[in-house]
Amino acid sequence: MKTITHETKLTLIYILIAFTFSILMRLIWVYHFNGIEAFKFNGQFMINTNDGYFFAEGARDLLTGAGTNPDAKEYFDKFHQSNDSSPVTSAASQLTAFFAYILPFSFESILLYMPVFLSSLLVIPIILIAKVLKNLEMGLIAALLASVAWSYYNRTMVGYYDTDMLNIVLPMFLLWSIIWAIQTKQSIYLLLAALDILVYRWWYPQSYSLEFSFFGLILLYTLVFDRKNLFNYKLLAIMMFAMMGLDGYIRFFLILGSFYIFTQEKFNKYIFYILGVSIVAFFITGGFLPIWSQLKGYVFTSSITAGDEGLKLHFFSVMQTVREAGKIPFETFANRISGHPITFVISLAGYAYLSYKHRIMLLALPMVGLGFLASVGGLRFTIYAVPVLALGIAFLITEVANSLPTPKLKYLSMFAFTLAILYPNYKHIDAYKVPTVFDTTEVQILDKLKSIADREDYVIGWWDYGYPLRYYADVKTLADGGKHSGSVNFPVSYILTNPPKTAAKMARLDVEYTEKKFEFVATHKEEIKEKNLTMFSNIEDMTKEYGFSDTNDFLKSLSQDIKLPKKTRDVYLYLPYRMLSIYPTVALFSDLNLMNGHKKKNPFFYMSRTFKDVGNQINLGRGIILDKVNSTVSIGGQVHPIKQFVKTAYDKDMKLQKEVQLLNFTADLNVIFMSNYNTFLLLDDKAFNSLYIQLMVLEEYDKELFEAVILNPNVKIFKLKV
C-alpha cells in the first residue's frame, strides 16, 4: 500500500483549515439574524438574492417530478407549465434538486447553505496551485484571504444562492489543471482541463470569454517560452474541442477521443493538424459568437438601444440602472478585491513578483484581467481577481518570512501578516448585514395569492420582483431578472407610472401579446429558423396591428376607447411599498420617445423618510423646505405652491383613511404624508396620477377596471377586470 507523504498530509490539513475557516466566517450572518423572525418563512431563513429564486423555482419543479411515482411526470407537467420560464435545465437547479433529493435537509436549508459549502471549495485549487510551486504556506494564506475577501464573500455568503457559488471555483480548478499540465506534462491533466471546461460551461454558460482567454494566453506562453513543447499544443487542442459551440455530450466524446490520441506517441506527428482542425471547428460551430455578445453587453453598453428592423424603436437600456454593471471608484474596487487599498496594492506587486519568480503564474492573467474589467464593466467582475491577487500577497508574506533568521520568527511573522490582511475583511463581514429579499409578511401575501391566482395567470410587477413572484405565488410574470430588456420593461414601466385607465389597457395588451408570441413561436419554429424571421417587441406589434406607424400615436390612442384583445387569463398587479424608493428608475423606461430615443421630461418625485419638523416648516432634506403656513415648498431656492396635501393613515382595522386638502388647483405639486410609514412624498401631477401612487399609496381605483385582492400596508395586489 502506497504511503501518504508528509507533503500530501500537510496539503490536506491546510485545505481542511481553510475550508473550515471559510464556512465559519459565513455563519456570522446566521448569528446576526438568528432572532429576526421577519427574515424567516415556515421556520427557515429565506435567501437574500433575487436571482436565487430563479434557480430555486427550477429545482422545486424538478423535485416535483422526481421519485418513483409512476404518475410523477403527470405531476411535473402540471407544476411546470409551458412558457413559465422555469429553469429546469439549468445546472444550478439540477444540482440543487440532486442535493435536496439525497440529503436529509429541508429544501429551504439546501438553498440557504449551498453557497457556503460550494464557494468554500475555492481553497482547494488555490492550495494545490501553491503545492506545485513548492510553497504550501503561501497556499494556506491565500486560501484564507480569498475565501473571505469582500466581493467573494458578498456573492457567496449564506443565502446568496446563485451561480457565483461555483463561478470562481471552477475557473480556479481549470487554472490549477492547466498549471499542473504544463509543469508536470502528465496526460491526466489534459483530460482534467478539458473536463473542467465542460463542467464550467454546464454550470455557467457565459464562461466562454474566460475559457478563450486561457487558451489565448497558453498559446502566447507556449510561443514565447516553450514553443518546442508538443505537450502544450495537445493541451490547446483538447481545450478547443471542449470549448466548441456544440452540445455537451458531443464535446465530451470529442474530448475522450482526442485524449486517447494524445496518449499514443504514434499520433504525435499529427498534433499540429489536430490543433488546426480544433481551431477551425471552434469558429465554425459558433464558439466565438457568445464571447463577442458578452463583450458588447457588458463593455460596450449604451443607455438607449434600437431595433435593427421594423420601426427601429428606441428603448432605455437596463444596464445603465444595474449597479453591478456600473463603473466603480478605485477604493471600492480595491476593497472588493483585497479588503483594503493598501492590501490591494501590495497584492498586485506580489502577483507581479510571483509571476517573475514562477512565470507559469502568468497564465492567471485572464482572471486578473476579468477582475480589472470591473473598472469599466461593474463591480460583479472583481471576484475573478480575488484568488490570484491573494496568491500574490501570500507569496510576499512567505518570502519575507523565509528571509528571517529563525523558524519561530518565520511563523510568527506569517501569522501576524495573515491576521493583518484578514482583519479588514472580517470587519466587512461583521458589518455586512444584508437582509433577505422579502420579509415574512410579503412572502405570506404571495403565498396567499398562490391560492387565489391560477398558474396561467400573470402578476405584473417591476422586474426586480419577478423571480420571487414566480417562486412564491407560482404565476407568470412579464419581466424578471433575466427578462428585462428595454423593450420588455417599457410596457411594465408604462403600466406602473401612467394613469390607471391607460395602464389597465396596456396591462391586458402586453399579457395577451406575450402569450400570442409564445404560441406563434411554438407553432412556427421551423419557419422562424429557416427564414430567420425577426421577432419584434410587443409594443411594436401593438403599434402595427392597431394601424399606426408611429408608436407615440398608438400610446395616445390608449386614452380613448379601443378594442382590447380577448381575455385569456387573469392579470394581477403587484404593488409593494418598497417600490417607492425606485419609482424614478421605473419611470425612466417609459419616459421615452420610442421613435427617436429622446428622453421626455421625468416626472418630479421626491421621497423623504428623514424629515425634521421645526414649527412652521418641515425640513425634508436636500434643501427642500415645506412651509406649513404658506402651503408652499422651497426647492433649490425656488418657491412652489402646493396643489393638494394628502395625509394617509391606517385605522385599528388596518383600513386606509385619507385626509385631502385642496390648496391651489392651478399648481402642479402635490404632497402626500404617509403617516404610518413616516414618509413624505412630493410629486407632480404625472407621478401623482400614476397607477402605482393611486392604487398603492392612496387606494383610489376605478372598480370597473380593478378589483382589490389584497390590501396590506406592505403590499397591495389588484386584479385587472378588463
What's the pLDDT at 292? Answer: 63
In whole angstroms, what is the distance from residue 294 CA to residue 297 CA?
Answer: 5
**Alpha helix (H) ranges present in 285-431?**
289-298, 330-338, 341-357, 365-372, 374-377, 386-402, 407-431
Least confident interval from 62-66, 280-284, 418-422, 449-453: 62-66
Flag whether pLDDT at 405 surpasses 60: yes
Flag whether pLDDT at 398 surpasses 70: yes
β-strands 458-460, 314-316: how paired?
unpaired
Count CB atoms within 10 A of the CB of residue 614: 10
What's the pLDDT at 650? Answer: 96
In whole angstroms, what is the distance from residue 698 CA to residue 696 CA?
Answer: 6
CA distance to 132, 504, 664, 665, per residue, from 661 (Å): 76, 28, 9, 11
In whole angstroms, what is the distance from residue 588 CA to residue 31 CA?
Answer: 39
What's the pLDDT at 294? Answer: 60
Flag whether pLDDT at 469 surpasses 70: yes
In whole angstroms, what is the distance from residue 414 CA to residue 398 CA?
Answer: 7
In the chain, what are the domains? 6-302+313-431 (no CATH), 440-580 (3.40.1380.40), 604-689 (2.40.128)
pLDDT digit string, tens, across residues 88-112:
999 999 999 999 999 999 999 999 9
pLDDT digit string, tens, across residues 320-361:
565 555 567 899 999 999 999 999 999 999 999 999 999 999
In whole angstroms, what is the distance from residue 597 CA to residue 576 CA?
Answer: 30
**Alpha helix (H) ranges present in 263-361?**
271-284, 289-298, 330-338, 341-357
User: Where does residue 161 rank: exposed (0-12), middle (13-18), buried (19+ CB within 10 A)?
Assistant: buried
For residue 546, give the 3-state DSSP assignment.
Answer: coil
pTM reported for the whole predicted model: 0.89
Which H or E run contains 17?
helix 6-26
Average pLDDT estimate for 532-541: 84
pLDDT digit string, tens, across residues 643-698:
999 999 999 999 999 999 999 999 999 999 999 999 999 999 999 999 999 999 99
Q: Are 152 and 383 in contact (CB under 8 A)?
A: yes
For residue 315, give the 3-state DSSP assignment.
Answer: strand
In whole angstroms, what is the distance from residue 144 CA to residue 390 CA?
Answer: 9
In whole angstroms, what is the distance from residue 9 CA to residue 97 CA?
Answer: 34
pLDDT digit string, tens, across residues 252-269:
999 999 999 999 989 899
Residue 38 DSSP one-character state = G
Flag whether pLDDT at 301 surpasses 60: no
In whole angstroms, what is the distance from residue 315 CA to residue 536 CA?
Answer: 13
Q: Are 61 and 100 in contact (CB under 8 A)?
A: no
What's the pLDDT at 338? Answer: 96
Residue 601 DSSP one-character state = P
Counts for the chain of helices (H) and strands (E), in that order? 33, 18
In whole angstroms, what is the distance from residue 286 CA to residue 245 CA?
Answer: 5
pLDDT digit string, tens, across residues 556-614:
999 999 999 999 999 999 999 999 999 999 999 999 999 998 998 889 999 999 999 98
User: Where does residue 8 rank: exposed (0-12), middle (13-18), buried (19+ CB within 10 A)?
Assistant: exposed
Flag whether pLDDT at 70 surpasses 60: no
What's the pLDDT at 69? Answer: 44
What's the pLDDT at 513? Answer: 96
Q: What is the DSSP string of 652-703?
A: TT--EEEEEEE--TT--EEEEEEGGGTEEEEEEHHHHTSHIIIIIIS----T
CA distance to 11, 62, 127, 129, per residue, from 7 (Å): 6, 43, 12, 13
Q: Are 429 and 153 in contact (CB under 8 A)?
A: yes
In whole angstroms, what is the distance from residue 247 CA to residue 95 CA?
Answer: 19
Q: Spell out the residues 6+ positions from residue 668 whose beta carbon is closer than 8 angstroms to its own.
A: 643, 684, 685
Tell me the three cell numbers of residue 358: 514562477
For residue 622, give the 3-state DSSP assignment.
Answer: coil
Least confident interval from 32-41, 69-78, 666-675: 69-78
CA distance to 126, 184, 220, 270, 705, per residue, from 215 (Å): 20, 18, 9, 20, 59
Share of the chain above pLDDT 70, in %: 92
pLDDT digit string, tens, across residues 436-458:
999 999 999 999 999 999 999 99
In whole angstroms, what is the distance from residue 22 CA to residue 357 CA?
Answer: 29
What's the pLDDT at 208? Answer: 85
Task: Report the candidate in 687, 709, 706, 456 with the shortest Cα–Cα distance to residue 579.
Answer: 687
